[in-house]
Amino acid sequence: MRPAGGILVWDIGVRGFHWLLVLAIAASALTGFVLGRTTLAWHLAAGVAVIVAVGWRVLWGLLGPTYARFATFTYRPSAVVAHLRDALGARRHRQLGHNPLGALMVFALLLVPAAIVAAGTVTLGGLLKQGPLRAFLGYATGRQWLGIHNALAIALLVLIGLHLAGVAFESWRGRENLTAAMLTGRKPALPPADAAQPARAHPVAAIVLALVLLAAGTGGVLALSSLPGWCVPPPDRDATFDLQCGACHLAFPPSLAPAATWNAILADLQHHFGADASLSPDQVTAIRFWLDGNSAEHWDTLPSHVLRTPAADSLRISDTPGWRRLHRDIPAAVFAPKRLRHSDCGACHADAATGMFAPQDIAIPEADK
């Protein structure tokens, strides 16, 4: 096609994918590297957008028009080497579609984001017991894959830098604005360029197949996400514990501390952190039975792992190394006297009573001026 202003090379399917991926990756990087865990919901939404964009591009690479097809930019290694020699030797050899090095970058920018989403899904299921893998993965697996997820994210940033450098270099070498071409879809007709074998697009088939796969994938994810998490405390609570301990403060989920800590607290209720919280022997026995059977050693949640190491000279959960590490970035003014005690977990965590402390349920109050 040779419309006014040049040859139409990048159709709306390719351009839409490109800019959706740009926005989704930017949002993922911002929420993952800069804004922190309280923006996890936005980070997950960006991840979904990434995998949707990649999935569409795969379909369009099989069913799209000429220059969208993978077949038009799948080169032999010898062609890649020859193109690299041309570039280093300042020889111009123009392709309307992706050149050999650009083709490698396209495949890398499809595979690496998809791998990042996969690693993030494993991390989400193992560490936070969320998502479609929550019923099958443990904390240790999630922690390992968090490192892989982060390493792949850094690798993606490097690839993006190389991609931008390549676009700038080829725009200069070929005397054409490749960024503008990805906006308008058009490239100059001259100078002459290698043309690919024309291929007919099948947009209806691609859209229908995309919708079917999206619906099936969404249904599968929702079904798997509804399964109980691996080694997660059940929602059932002990009535005596909730009544007696919850009368003064949050009835802390037993999974937040080891049995040794709970037994030490029960052994000296007369001096319970500066107050007399004495209970009858029967009540103490019932509460001890509940705490021993549901302490941190029995569960695989992130809080149970992070908080199970007690402080050297304190029984307070807020004095544990794990608690201090997780809260080190919170301004001290948030915990100002008469405003918010360290034990008021529910002031920031909407799901504090469950012991899960999901990042999406964190809302930190503003510090006093």
User: Can you give the residue ranges of every domain in the chain?
Assistant: 7-225, 239-361
List, for residues 249-280, the tens digit of each pLDDT value. 888 999 999 999 999 999 999 988 888 889 99
Q: What percent of the chain has pLDDT over 90?
A: 60
Residue 227 has pLDDT above 90, yes or no: yes
CA distance 345 to 351: 9
Is pLDDT above 50 for 1?
Answer: no
Report in angstroms the alpha-carbon separations of 260 from 263, 316, 321, 324. 5, 12, 16, 20
pLDDT, tens only, 119-151: 999 999 999 999 999 999 999 999 999 999 999
pLDDT confidence tier of residue 294, bands split at 50, 70 and 90? very high
Report the top-level CATH class of 7-225.
mainly alpha
What is the reported pTM? Answer: 0.88
Better-predicted residue by pLDDT, 236 or 205: 205
Calculate mean pLDDT across residues 93-114: 89
C-alpha–C-alpha distance, residues 215 and 130, integer Å: 20
Mean of the pLDDT values across residues 74-83?
86
Geometric angle at alpha carbon 49, from 147 and 181, rounded to 5°: 110
Angstrom distance (rounded) from CA 163 to CA 108 = 10
**Range of weakest confidence among 120-134, 232-246, 289-303:** 232-246
The answer on pLDDT for 3 being more than 50 is: no
Which of the 8 DSSP states describes residue 35? I
